Amino acid sequence: VMIMQYGACFGTELTMNNQLATHFRTYFQMKAGDAAALASAFGLMNLFARSLGGIVSDQLFRRVGFRGRIWAQFLALFFEAVFL
Q: Is the pTM of this model over 0.95?
A: no
Confidence category of residue 1, pLDDT binned at 50, 70, 90: low
HSE-CB at 49 with a 13 A cutoff on CA atoms is: 13
Output b/e per residue, 11-40; b: 16+ Cβ within 10 A. eeeeeeeeebbeebbeeeebeeeebeeebe
24-76 pLDDT, tens digit per residue, is: 999 999 999 999 999 888 888 878 887 888 888 899 899 999 998 888 888 88
